[in-house]
Amino acid sequence: MAGFAVLYVVYPIDGGRVAEFMNDLSDHTGDAPKGDSEATDREKNRFSARAKRYGRVGANVGGVAVRMAGRRLFGLDSETEKEAAALAMALGGLKGPIMKVAQLLATIPDALPPEYAEALGKLQSHAPPMGRGFVKRRMAAELGPAWEGKFGSFDYEAAASASLGQVHRAVAHDGRDLAVKLQYPDMRSAVEADLVQLGMLFSVHRHMRPAVETSEVLKELSERLREELDYRREARMTSLYGEIFKNDAFVRVPEVLSDLSTDRVLTMTWLDGRKLLEYKDRSLDDRNTIAQAMFRAWWYPFSHYGVIHGDPHLGNYTVFEDGAGRAAGINLLDYGCMRTFAPKFIQGVIDLYNGLLRDDRALVVHAYETWGFAGLSNELIDVLNIWARFIYGPMLDDRVRTIADDVEPGMYGRKEAFQVHQALRDKGPVTVPREFVFMDRAAIGLGGVFLHLNAELNFHNLFDEAIAGVDVGTVTQRQSEAFAQAGVPLPVAAASETSS
């Protein structure tokens, strides 16, 4: 706690964030409003769990923030490379949302200093799985003391682990292979604690003449991370994608077993497949098949239904094969990090593509305004175009090509991010709209997958195919029907447009 007090005295950051933290330590009433289920929920957003998380993460984030602030206060050169490496090392063993946030921030130009973005971008969002004791407690708490009898068999050894939970294999009484996803303990408290820490780091960076104003970024991250803890929401999103791709030959979606799922346990059918990186040395045809399926799995739901898979890292996909052992398509495995968009925003994405393609500056400006950028000068528009031409570049180029020549997957977008950072330091800052955050994250992640595969495709033709016949009216109707069927709420803007 001393680190936060020193930070506030030595460097005048956002006092509201400090007050929130201090109030949290002195007042146990800081939890979110409680419904009936929350009243008896032993893992709700608890003060004691948050305080423990503050201690584990705060020493790391707070300590680095103090050094950043102190060196700037006394006019010393920043040692950001050392500080960034220290922060990445300190966070590397922690479960929870801080890992996911760190990787996401690495993709947004100047959301954090470049050295931090590079170091944090290398973090892997997984930690060692928890043991048999946790599994028994979690399953009994969610499915009842006789939970094992609800499965034909259940494997106590985790098949996979990630930042918020771990997955176990099981078999249903009807013989189907299952994947059972268990949320780690106290993740709600961890999310709230980590978001306060993130606000602290943003507050320090905000006083260092940043190119990007991050207030909307923090709001977006907060909302998405809280959603990701709701496994019932993830079940509905899985059902939505199951409807979208029900007749698709290249993309497979698991089926949710609702009677074996709760807020913190999600049971789905197991989809057999091999890890994507096992295909790096396969034939170009195999690699291109996988890349085409990935492109479709991301762009088709966005352009036709206004929803994206916001976390396209390698662990969220496996590859299924045909009878001859050739790559035939992909299994989409995780639906926690999803983002929905109003139909008008989809049109803005298409307008930006067409504006860049035709060199129509008026359409480009209109598209940025649709995205949510405001008060843009000509200079700022030119800077944003650097990033836009990078994101859209492969789709503007009507030829067979890789996504980016001679670029390592981990460095995808770094050069362009640095150019934007340098330009905006003089002409910014610019406020990043909330919708931009996961669009940007997903585009960078998807590009990294294409680089791993070294796929060679005509991305221009693939994108044209994905947006063919798309207009606001048809997307509005299609989205409304599909979301209602799956029980997914419409985006706020979409809901207001439908009722108007």
Task: Report which DSSP code applies to 149.
Answer: G
The torsion angles phi and psi of 169, rounded to 5 degrees, stand at -85, 145
Q: pLDDT-based confidence at 467, cuts 50/70/90?
A: very high
Residues 378-390, mean pLDDT to the nearest whole number:
88
Whether omega for the bond prior to residue 33 falls within 30 degrees of 0, making it cis, is no
Residue 413 has pLDDT above 70, yes or no: no
Strands 327-332 and 251-252: parallel
| pLDDT at site 252 | 98
Residues 40-68, mean pLDDT to the nearest whole number:
52
Q: Tell me the chain's radius of gyration from C-alpha atoms.
A: 23
pLDDT in tens, 147-201: 999 999 999 999 988 778 899 999 999 999 999 999 999 888 888 887 887 777 6
| pLDDT at site 70 | 47
| pLDDT at site 191 | 84
Q: Which residue has 């609702």 as its token pair? A: 258
| pLDDT at site 25 | 36
Tokens representing residue 484 in the block: 């209602």
| DSSP calls for 181-235 | EEEPTTHHHHHHHHHHHHHHHHHHHHTS--SEE-HHHHHHHHHHHHHHT-HHHHH
pLDDT above 90: percentage of residues in the chain? 46
- Specify the DSSP element, H or E, that contains 243: helix 231-244
